[in-house]
């Protein structure tokens, strides 16, 4: 037994013995800064600065919050990534949260969350929620460092040895999609999401009449809902034929269909036993769920666009879907996400936190810490960080045999190399293209 463990087992931490001196370093773990001896880990630790750190190494804007304290070397980082409005989130952090938080005690996460939440009076929007998430996750990171424990331990400890994931497969044709599933299985994945090209299979659409008429903007995309629906059924059929029944298949409708079309498509997919179908409706169409539930037993995943508690409380307590798919930084961080997870436990709704490329490695680690600790974990999106991203964010989660593995460093276990991050500034011009989608006549479609 090493000295650190023996001190803890003797209960000397409670007597004020320092546990945080020295450095911890292991494979895939960032070097944890040395924190000077403290008389007690519960002495007030004041916030001295809250700031945004942003970087765009692969064309995706990533934002994290760094919370600095009056204890030399003690800081935390949290994910505040909302790439579509990056500059607005940065302003919310640097111009408001910094000012609001200075002098507050890092120990009181719930108090800081609740007071920051109402500090704008108007609340529950994506910009302010992301800023709040960066602050909240950074405070959990700090609490872990003070307790000398990974955050999942503070959330109740492990409920599973690692985080099971699904990987993104698919292709521009059913045959390509089937090939991708075989390749993912080779890599050790048991769950694969299959899409036919991009969301909505826009490549299957005919020439966009609205462009010929000079309507819209030159870069706008076009989608033919019927071609998409027919193509997805053919894709599932081919994938089951080629890859068999052992693999779990997922698909994301991405709110792109009219509600009754989505219901019809899901009924047709039932025979292929999907693991879940994601976002059949836009949040604005939430009232269609009871009809969907009467028509099919296919498991449904919902909620990556949710920002406001009013969007998830009623459908969860009515068991209108099976997986809650919230993007954790969009609701304000670990603190509210744990409440959502606990709510789901009572109604047997499992978690499937949104985990795409526009979540920073810090945010993916936060997802995984919750995934390890809550009983009603469902599935997580796999990560695939480039060597550069791993250098900017030392300690990033990694994959092994289809599982996401996080390191055991105190806190969230991920740091940020500010100097390197700054070498990849945000782009001068904003890209709206991905969200701009129209029917053949030019009618905008929810993206
Ligand atoms: Mg989605």
| 38 and 170 assigned to the same domain | no
Q: Model confidence over 399-415: pLDDT tens digits?
A: 999 999 999 999 999 99
The residue segments making up the domain with residue 204 are 163-409
What mean pLDDT do residues 114-133 have? 98
- Active site residue: 168, 191, 251, 254, which one? 254
Closest CA to 64 of 339, 380, 373, 414: 414
Q: Is the pLDDT of residue 98 over 50?
A: yes
Q: Is the pLDDT of residue 267 over 60?
A: yes
DSSP state of 427: P
Task: Return d(Cα 387, Cα 384) in angstroms, integer.
Answer: 10
Q: Is residue 244 part of a domain?
A: yes
Q: Model confidence over 235-254: pLDDT tens digits?
A: 999 999 999 999 999 999 99
Q: Is residue 304 part of a domain?
A: yes
CA–centroid distance, 46 to ligand 1, in Å, is 38
CA–centroid distance, 401 to ligand 1, in Å, is 23
CA–centroid distance, 326 to ligand 1, in Å, is 10
Task: Return d(Cα 287, Cα 306) in angstroms, integer.
Answer: 15
pLDDT the model gives residue 139:
98
Could you tell me the two tokens for 138?
């950074």
Q: Is the pLDDT of residue 2 over 60?
A: no
Q: Is residue 296 part of a domain?
A: yes
pLDDT the model gives residue 42:
81
Q: Of 129, 150, 171, which marks where a domain is finished? A: 150
| 146 and 175 assigned to the same domain | no
Q: In the annotation, is 199 catalytic?
A: yes
Any bridge partners for residue 381, and if so which?
Answer: 166
Q: Of 150, 184, 219, which marks where a domain is finished? A: 150
CA–centroid distance, 282 to ligand 1, in Å, is 11
Q: Is residue 158 part of a domain?
A: no
CA–centroid distance, 328 to ligand 1, in Å, is 13
Task: Return d(Cα 34, Cα 286) in angstroms, integer.
Answer: 49
Give the number of C-alpha atoms closer than 13 A to the C-alpha of residue 343, restricted to the C-beta side. Answer: 18
What mean pLDDT do residues 34-63 have? 86
Q: Model confidence over 63-87: pLDDT tens digits?
A: 999 999 999 999 999 999 999 999 9
CA–centroid distance, 90 to ligand 1, in Å, is 25
CA–centroid distance, 175 to ligand 1, in Å, is 23
Burial class (CB in 10 A: 0-12, 13-18, 19+), 332: buried
CA–centroid distance, 444 to ligand 1, in Å, is 19
| 75 and 108 assigned to the same domain | yes
| 180 and 53 assigned to the same domain | no
| 379 and 283 assigned to the same domain | yes
- Stretch (H or E) spanning 78: strand 75-79
Q: Is residue 445 part of a domain?
A: no
CA–centroid distance, 359 to ligand 1, in Å, is 13
| 134 and 176 assigned to the same domain | no
Q: Is residue 177 part of a domain?
A: yes
DSSP state of 227: H
| 135 and 167 assigned to the same domain | no
Q: Is residue 308 part of a domain?
A: yes
DSSP state of 202: G
DSSP state of 93: I
Ranking 8-17, 157-166, 245-254, 271-280 by mean pLDDT, the lowest is 8-17
How far apart, in Å, are the Cα atoms of 408 and each of 29, 49, 115, 200, 405? 7, 27, 31, 40, 10
| 19 and 131 assigned to the same domain | yes
- Active site residue: 54, 75, 199, 403, which one? 199
What would the DSSP string read from start to end of 259-308? HHHHHHHHHHHGGG--SEEE--S-GGGGGGHHHHHHH----EEE-TT--S
What mean pLDDT do residues 135-144 have? 98
| 191 and 242 assigned to the same domain | yes
DSSP state of 111: H
Q: Of 150, 182, 200, which marks where a domain is finished? A: 150
CA–centroid distance, 316 to ligand 1, in Å, is 18
| 190 and 303 assigned to the same domain | yes
CATH number for the domain including 11?
A: 3.30.390.10
Ramachandran angles phi, psi of 294, nearest 5°: -75, -20
Look at the chain and report how many structural domains it folds into: 2
| 121 and 167 assigned to the same domain | no
Q: How confident is the model at residue 41 (pLDDT cuts 50, 70, 90)?
A: low
Region for residue 148 given its phi and psi (left: phi exceeds 0; alpha: psi -120 to 50; beta: otherwise): left
- Beta-strand runs (E) in 344-419: 350-351, 380-381, 398-400, 403-405
Cα dihedral: 280, 365, 188, 345 (round 10): -50
What would the DSSP string read from start to end of 36-103? ---S-TTS--BEEEEEEEEE-TTS--EEEEEEEESSTT-EEEEE---GGGHHHHHHIIIIIIHHHHTT
What mean pLDDT do residues 328-350 have? 98
Q: Is residue 183 part of a domain?
A: yes
- Stretch (H or E) spanning 323: strand 323-324
The two beta strands, 62-69 and 47-55, are antiparallel
Please answer whether residues 74 and 47 qualify as being in contact, where contact means their C-beta atoms are separated by less than 8 angstroms: no
| 193 and 66 assigned to the same domain | no
Q: Is the pLDDT of residue 27 over 90?
A: no
The overall average pLDDT reported for the chain is 92
* CB atoms inside a 10 Å sphere around CB 371: 26
pLDDT the model gives residue 9:
37
CATH number for the domain including 242?
A: 3.20.20.120
Q: Is the pLDDT of residue 123 over 80?
A: yes
């Amino acid at each position: 037994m090493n000295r650190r463990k023996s001190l803890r087992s003797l209960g000397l931490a409670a007597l004020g013995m320092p546990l945080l001196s020295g450095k911890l370093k292991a494979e895939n773990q960032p070097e944890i800064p040395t924190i000077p001896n403290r008389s007690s880990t519960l002495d007030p630790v004041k916030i001295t600065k809250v700031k945004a750190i942003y970087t765009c190494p692969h064309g995706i804007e990533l934002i994290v919050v760094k919370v600095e304290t009056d204890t030399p070397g003690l800081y935390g980082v949290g994910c505040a990534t909302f790439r579509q409005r990056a500059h607005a989130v940065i302003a919310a952090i640097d111009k408001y949260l910094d000012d609001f938080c200075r002098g507050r005690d890092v120990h009181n996460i719930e108090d800081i969350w609740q007071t920051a939440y109402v500090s704008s009076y108007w609340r529950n929007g994506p910009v302010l929620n992301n800023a709040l998430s960066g602050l909240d996750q950074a405070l959990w990171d700090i609490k872990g460092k003070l307790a000398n424990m990974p955050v999942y331990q503070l959330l109740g400890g492990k409920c599973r040895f690692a985080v099971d994931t699904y990987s993104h497969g698919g292709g521009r044709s059913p045959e390509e999609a089937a090939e991708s599933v075989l390749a993912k299985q080779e890599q050790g994945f048991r769950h694969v999401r299959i899409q036919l090209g991009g969301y909505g299979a826009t490549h299957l659409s005919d020439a966009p009449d609205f462009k010929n008429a000079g309507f819209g903007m030159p870069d706008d995309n076009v989608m033919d809902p019927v071609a998409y629906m027919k193509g997805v059924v053919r894709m599932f059929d081919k994938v089951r034929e080629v890859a068999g029944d052992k693999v779990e298949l997922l698909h994301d409708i991405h709110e792109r269909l009219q509600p009754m079309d989505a219901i019809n498509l899901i009924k047709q997919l039932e025979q292929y036993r999907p693991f879940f179908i994601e976002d059949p409706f836009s949040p604005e169409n939430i009232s269609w769920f009871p009809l969907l539930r009467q028509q099919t037993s296919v498991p449904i995943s919902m909620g990556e666009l949710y920002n406001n508690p009013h969007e998830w409380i009623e459908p969860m307590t009515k068991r209108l879907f099976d997986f809650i798919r919230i993007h954790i930084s969009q609701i304000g961080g670990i603190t509210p996400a744990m409440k959502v997870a606990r709510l789901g436990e009572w109604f047997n709704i499992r978690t499937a936190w949104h985990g795409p490329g526009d979540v920073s490695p810090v945010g993916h680690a936060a997802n995984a810490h919750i995934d390890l600790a809550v009983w009603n974990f469902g599935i997580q999106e796999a990560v695939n960080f480039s060597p550069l991203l791993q250098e900017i964010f030392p300690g990033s989660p990694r994959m092994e045999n289809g599982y996401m593995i996080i390191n055991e460093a105190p806190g969230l276990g991920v740091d940020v190399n500010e100097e390197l991050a700054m070498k990849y500034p945000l782009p001068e011009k904003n890209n709206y293209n991905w969200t701009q989608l129209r029917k053949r006549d030019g009618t905008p479609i929810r993206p």
